[in-house]
Amino acid sequence: MSKLLGVSEELRNGSRVVAIKGEFDLHSATQVRESLERAAADRASRLVIDLSDCAFIDSTGLATIVHVTRPLRDDGEKVHLVCPAGDVRKLLELSALELTFPIHSRLDEAIEPSPSESSEG
């Protein structure tokens, strides 16, 4: 049984942050997907998915992230993941998601614009 403790959304320094706490799997995917879709609709903000407090993620969770963010990525927008070292980070790396998303160890790294992004504005 899934133990999703919550999904929160906040705007921080111009980034839309969706934080996932607990287990992100088949049972919690609908709730997480709805939050990600709301956040992704805000095209004026960078989307940051914070997995720092995510204890477990399965293939459904990974697929949810990839599919919900695809329109943003297709439009050239960057979606950033936050995930410190641990089992979830290992799964992201084994799934080669660092080729699709920048993965940061800390939230503050993900919400700061890169030099190329800050010079575009």
Residue 9, in any domain of the structure: yes
pLDDT per position as a tens digit, 77-91: 889 999 999 999 999
Instruction: Classify burial at 2, counting beta carbons within 10 Å of its beta carbon; exposed 0-12, middle 13-18, buried 19 or more.
Output: middle
Given a cut of 70, is residue 120 above it in pLDDT?
A: no
| Least trusted range by pLDDT, from 2-6, 64-68, 86-90 | 2-6
Number of domains within the chain:
1
- In a domain? residue 120: no
Pair of tokens at residue 59: 């293939």
pTM of the entire predicted model:
0.90
Any domain includes 119: no
pLDDT, tens digit (0-9, with 9 covering 90-100), for 12-35: 998 999 999 999 999 999 999 999
Residue 27's identity, in one-letter code, is H
What confidence score (pLDDT) does residue 88 get?
97
The yes-or-no verdict on residue 112 having pLDDT over 80 is no
Q: Where does residue 83 rank: exposed (0-12), middle (13-18), buried (19+ CB within 10 A)?
A: buried
In a domain, 121, yes or no: no
In the numeric block, the tokens 């080669």 are attached to 96
Q: Of 53, 59, 45, whose CA–CA distance to 17 is shortest?
A: 45
Q: Domain containing 58 — which CATH number?
A: 3.30.750.24
Read off the tokens for 70. Answer: 């695809």
State whether residue 57 is helix, strand or coil.
strand
Range of the domain at 45: 4-113
38 confidence band (pLDDT: 50, 70, 90) = very high
